[in-house]
Amino acid sequence: MSADSVGYRDENLLVGALLTTAAFFCVALVGTLAKVSGQYTSTGVLLLFQNAICLLFILPVAWRGGFAALRTKRIGLHVLRAATGTGCWYALFVAIKLIPLANATLLTYSAPLWMPMIAWAVTRQRVAAPTWLGAAIGFVGILLVLQPQGHGFSAGELSALAGASLLAVAMMSVRWLGATEPVTRILFYYFLLSTVMSLPIAVVDWDPIASPGWPWLVGLGFAQLFSQALIVVAYRYASAEKVGPFIYTVIVFTAVIDWIVWDHQPTAATYLGMALVIGGGVLAMRAKRQQPQSHSTAPSVEGRRP
């Protein structure tokens, strides 16, 4: 699409923020629809349909530029991004079957808190003290939500935390890809590879889809597609670094949906934990943005989904 190389608008942070918020409302809908759809089929089938529907819609857009527009020298990084993104979604879908939607989403979207540790482990570059402080505050919030004393972590909580670590790697891989790859190519390879990776999972985990489940599955795919499209458009109006903190609106949206639909009213500890996770994440993001960069070729995409 033309937005890959030209067509960027003059910066408008308000429009960018609104579009990003809309994108993560769609992400909240993905979790909601997955929880409902999970009553009619397996987690593997949910994963396959989500990716396949998005692939069907991105194919004609990606092919407009011909094969040359899809040629890449970074296929390994595309594979890493698809593998970690697919793993993250699978872990989240497992978690929302076992624990409240709001808790599963909060734990999974704690991913930015894990990124300083992963970045340090991979690059050995110095991480600013405020970034560590923000991560520490966020992890205190996670403990408040989980309250593991005496009973340890449940399978659903562990699955969501595993999803968070995978999401952190996926987000970083998109950042690395953004240095050389246009948006359409990134999305094309993600949905293509994720669909291929989801297929054997769906076959092994196959469960015939009950008739009432089809509308929910289609809605799941479209919600994922709209979330990706909206965030791409948002980046035409403001950089991902500036709209990145709006990733946390998904936590608020899912908490409200979980309360209204499933009557899971958050406790005072959960409210405080959410505030600490969001506050810590925003602090870590702001500290990272203000830290001097060693190079400027890779645009930050901390706010972009896998």
Query: For residues 138 and 142, what is the distance between their CA atoms, to the nearest angstrom?
Result: 6
Which bin fits 206, alpha (ψ -120 to 50), beta or left (φ > 0)?
Answer: beta
208 class by beta-carbon count within 10 Å (0-12 exposed, 13-18 middle, 19+ buried): exposed
Establish if 211 belongs to a structural domain: yes
Q: For residue 91, tell me if it sits in a domain.
A: yes
For 81-119, the DSSP string reads HHHHHHHHHHHHHHHHHHS-HHHHHHHHTTHHHHHHHHH
Please list the pLDDT of the chain residue by residue as tens digits (306 residues). Answer: 344 443 445 677 788 888 888 988 999 999 999 999 988 999 999 999 999 999 998 899 888 878 888 888 889 999 999 999 999 999 999 999 998 888 898 888 887 777 777 777 776 777 777 777 887 888 888 778 777 555 667 889 899 989 988 988 887 787 778 778 888 888 899 999 999 999 999 999 998 888 899 999 999 989 988 887 887 777 778 766 667 677 788 888 888 898 899 888 878 888 888 888 888 877 776 665 555 544 433 333 334 445
4 domain residue, yes or no: no
Instruction: Tell me if 222 is assigned to some domain.
Output: yes
Give the pLDDT score at 294: 43
Q: Are 303 and 231 in contact (CB under 8 A)?
A: yes
Distance CA 17, CA 22 (A): 9
CB atoms within 10 A of CB 214: 14
Q: Please indicate, yes or no, if residue 101 is contained in any of the structural domains.
A: yes
Q: Which two tokens stand for residue 2?
A: 């033309």
Please give the model's pTM, rounded to 2 decimal places.
Answer: 0.79
Q: Where are the beta strands (DSSP E) in the chain?
A: none
First vs last Cα of the chain: how many Å apart? Answer: 19
The pLDDT assigned to 151 comes to 60
Name the residue range of residue 221's domain.
Answer: 10-290
Separation of alpha carbons 232 and 229, rounded Å: 5
Asked if the structure places residue 286 within a domain, the reply is yes
Residue 280 lies in a domain: yes
Q: Considering its fold, how many domains does the chain have in total? A: 1
At residue 302, the pLDDT reads 39
Task: Confirm whether 28 is domain-assigned.
Answer: yes
What pLDDT, on the 0 to 100 scale, is given for residue 5?
44
